[in-house]
Amino acid sequence: MTGPAATDAERRAPGGTSPQEPAGSAPRAVPPPAPWVRTRLRATPLSALLGAVLAFVAVLLSAALPRAMDRGTDQALRSFLESRGPAQTSLYVTARPRYGEQSAKNLDEVLATLLSRTAPGFAVAPEGPVHGSSAAARPLGNRGLAAPDGAPPQLGLHHLRTASEHVRLVEGHWPGAPTPGSPVPVALSQSAAKTIGIRVGMVLETATGRALTTVKAEVVGLYAANDEAEDYWTDYTCLLRACLNMTTTQPPQAFWRTEALVGAEALDRLTEWSEGQNEDFWRIPVDTGTLRADQLPATAKSVASYLSGPTATRLTQETGRSDLRFTSRLPEQFALAEARRQAAAPLAAMGPAGVAGVAFVVFCLAAGLTGDRRESELRLLLARGGSRAGIVRRLLAENAVTVLPAAALAAVLAVVLLPTPRSAGTVLAASAATLLALLAVPVRAFVLLSPKRPPGPRRRLVAELLALAATAAAVFEVRSRGVAPAGAGVDPLLIAAPLLLALCGGLLLARIQPALVGALARAAGRGPGLIGFLGLARAARGTGGRARPSVLPLIALLLAVTTGGFGATVLAAVADARSEAARAAVGGDAQVSAPNGTLPEALTKAAAALPGVRSSVKVWSDDNVFLYGTKAGSTQISVVVADPVEYARLSAAAGLGRFDPALLAAGAAGTSGAKVPALISRDLAEDDTSGFQLRLENGGELKLAVVGVVDGTPARPGAKSTTVVLPAAQVLASVPQMGLPNTWLALGPVDQHQLEEAVRSTDPAGAEERYRVRTSSAVMAELGSDPLQRSAERLFWASLAGAAGFALLAVLLTLVRAAPDRAALLARLRTMGLRPRQGILLILVESVPLALAAALGGALLAAGAVALLGPALDLSTLVGTRVPTGLQVLVTPVLIQALGLAALVAGAVLAEAAISGRRQITTELRAGDQR
């Protein structure tokens, strides 16, 4: 490039003399020209620093968001699998025992072989595998043992290789090697021995079915578990206590069942005890804490190979056991976890997409501001012989000195603060943000220095029509097919549709706003004051000779408001759906039920007196009542007996089975032969209801007079659809046993712990076994405890904060870009008597149309996005339970986002006017008008 540098070179050329030096004088040494980048950075240090800060923030957010999403999905996967328990996340291997060759050493060898094939796809949990051999339970023939319904207790035998590490001996000694013909020595849990009535030294005997011989076991010790909640005892709880089971006979009979431990020397006696119904087993728990969401398909493939693929075949050959059987629920859990992740991924990606769109607009504004400030300089360089490519290279070098170190520091900080094994997304996002920060100013300079084309209004119209067509196609496609099916990953159309709607809204407002603001300015000009007219007139036109205001700030604000309003609507809908689901599951806000009995009066009174209880109702309900007189002759139904007024209030609050309580007040009552008014479910309404009659298990009968129809009942949320609701007063007069309450329901913010304490205070001994306590707040907390939901919510709020910050920066950049013209105007007005407060008011009036247009337009666009895209959204994953597909427009969250951002914009404008406005005016007054 030629210019001043070339002139200096000519002056230093051999034999050349400076025109300022006298002829014949010795040439004076001329210093070399200063480097371009260093000179420019020293000339504008504040601009360089702000550019570096902007690049740092943009790259930090770009690098952090993918890592936060990765950490959230990994944590959600691990928490989901951990909540399933070891029984659902373990590999089970079983085989028939080797008769005559059974040994503990062989069990250990098989385990070592099984463990050798678990890597690299998955690892074994730290608590380690559980293996051994078991014999089926047999009934005991000893007299005097506990038998609830007359059925004798049953005893099974187990050999667990590492059981001694998880229990402590409390009485007797550990079982050893049995002598031929003697009973099998066993150790029993202290709790089971106490429940069944077994003592140390007792010989337990049972008769086999085939040889009619007696097999005996001698209890030589009692033990207690070190920690009964330890995962080691999963699937083996009957080794810790006596389990109450039911026989398959008619009628069923209750009996006690427990398991006992035997030594390794008694492995051959297990077959004798169980008549061949014994097996060797190996349970291998998978370490869910090391699983990663991105590697889940590969892990699922490795597990599938272990269960029924090449790995299983090799294990069968290496162990020498051809009858190895592999089972696991892990493949089902993996598929369910992947479906949940894919369902939440599109909703979680909307926030980061909005931040990216607003950040792109901010960089364009920053590049435009830099280009305006340096346009005369760049054109001078071009006029003095510089090429466009050379100028762009110098600007690129300037940016590289500030942007690259800031970007590198931001990327390193994101990696340190958010550790995750994946880095591809981080590198891609950080690289994109760095390139945008690096190329924004050079590209703007290249456009400024390009030969000007003749004005072409059609080009803008064509671009706007293309944006409108793309938006319409995206919305139509999402509404036609719904969200991308499972397995397709993040749906790009669902993410792009709100952004395209905001873009189209910004383009439309850019067309409308100047005309509307201009009309307001003309109306304000007819008034006595000039502040409103001047501010609105400046808002209606562009600065720096432009015919209209820049559309970029408006698009930035609309992107922030639209994505924020859409996301806030999703989260509000999730919270509402979770609340409704919790109330439907509980039957109100609080429930106390007695599954196998009735609730005492003292308990219901204590519960009703708790803080927060607004109203309560006592209910008798049963699912095993038969209704006669239907088309089928008799139908099993759910019956609810309650006070009509209180129960109607509960049904209305729960949103299930609303009815008019006056309906149940009709009809005669007081005698057993009178008909009782009843509300029936809709599936019974088509029958001839005149002959409906209830018949209870104890023989009681009740004639019904149908007075209305209900859709469900909160008292039995999980019951069958066929339901009958009866008034308590009439039923008590006819069939007293139907009126005794077995469920208490309440409305109001009831605390779960206080309700449990009230229940325990009335029955300290058996409250946990006899009564079931539930509250809607506890159910909501349980539904919302999934890390997948919390991660999506945190990511949205973080994205909203980032989008709001970038939107404010866009407004400030717009103000700074208009600052020279505004300062010149205010300086002239100051000479004509404008007061400082009026100057600030003028700046506010000038900025109000942008804030109002963004707030109102963004609110409308967010509501439109919800209306257009809402029917395709399924929020079940975020809610925590199955809910109907669809999203309704909610006014409150949209308005909060719109008004909140408008308030922030107004505050930013006021702060900028108060801080820099007076200084700029003073500078203009001192320097004079040089324009």
Is 706's pLDDT higher than 80? yes
Residue 325: per-residue pLDDT:
93
3-state per-residue secondary structure call for 767-819: HHHHCEEEEHHHHHHHHCCCHHHHHHHHHHHHHHHHHHHHHHHHHHHHHHHHH
Q: Which tens digits make up the pLDDT trace of 394-426?
A: 889 888 999 999 999 999 999 999 998 888 889
Residue 763: per-residue pLDDT:
72
3-state per-residue secondary structure call for 680-700: EEHHHCCCCHHHCEEECCCCC
Residue 257, classed as helix, strand or coil, is strand
pLDDT category at 92 given cuts 50, 70, 90 is very high
Q: Helix crossing, 424-449 with 388-417: angle to 10°?
A: 160
pLDDT category at 669 given cuts 50, 70, 90 is very low
Higher pLDDT, 283 or 871: 283
Is 586's pLDDT higher than 80? yes
pTM (two decimals): 0.76
Residue 930: per-residue pLDDT:
47
Look up tokens 């390009």; give the residue.
450
Q: Which tens digits make up the pLDDT trace of 16-25?
A: 444 444 554 5
* Amino acid identity, position 138: R
- Percent with pLDDT over 70 in the chain: 88
Quick check: 697 and 686 in contact, CB under 8 A?
Answer: no
In this structure, what DSSP letter does residue 833 have? T
Name the burial class of residue 928, with classes exposed (0-12), middle (13-18) and buried (19+) by CB atoms within 10 angstroms of its CB: exposed
Which of 268-277, 422-431, 888-897 has the lowest average pLDDT? 268-277
Residue 185: per-residue pLDDT:
93
Q: What's the rounded mean pLDDT across residues 374-388?
A: 85
Q: What's the rounded mean pLDDT across residues 800-825?
A: 80
Quick check: 666 and 677 in contact, CB under 8 A?
Answer: yes
Calpha distance 925→139 (Å, rounded): 106
Residue 438: per-residue pLDDT:
92
Q: Which tens digits make up the pLDDT trace of 133-184?
A: 999 888 888 888 888 878 889 999 999 988 988 999 999 999 988 888 789 9
Residue 211: per-residue pLDDT:
46
Calpha distance 427→437 (Å, rounded): 15
Name the burial class of residue 341, with classes exposed (0-12), middle (13-18) and buried (19+) by CB atoms within 10 angstroms of its CB: buried
Q: Which of 621, 646, 624, 648 lies closest to 637 in space, CA to CA? A: 624
The set of residues, in sequence order, having a beta carbon less than 8 Å from that of 61 and lying 6+ positions away, is 355, 359, 433, 802
Q: Which tens digits make up the pLDDT trace of 791-802?
A: 878 888 888 888
Q: What's the rounded mean pLDDT across residues 209-226?
A: 80
**Within the chain, what is the greatest distance between any pair of CA atoms?**
140
Residue 766: per-residue pLDDT:
62
Residue 697: per-residue pLDDT:
61
Q: Which tens digits make up the pLDDT trace of 72-86?
A: 888 888 988 988 888
Calpha distance 241→257 (Å, rounded): 9
Look up tokens 């051994």; give the residue.
132
pLDDT category at 874 given cuts 50, 70, 90 is confident
Residue 212: per-residue pLDDT:
55
Higher pLDDT, 405 or 554: 405
pLDDT category at 131 given cuts 50, 70, 90 is very high
The set of residues, in sequence order, having a beta carbon less than 8 Å from that of 903 and lying 6+ positions away, is none
The set of residues, in sequence order, having a beta carbon less than 8 Å from that of 244 and lying 6+ positions away, is 148, 254, 255, 256, 257
Residue 266: per-residue pLDDT:
87
Calpha distance 127→129 (Å, rounded): 7
- Percent with pLDDT over 90 in the chain: 17
Question: Taking all residues of the chain, what is their mean pLDDT, rounded to a whole number?
Answer: 82
Is 485's pLDDT higher than 70? no
Residue 534: per-residue pLDDT:
80
* Amino acid identity, position 324: L
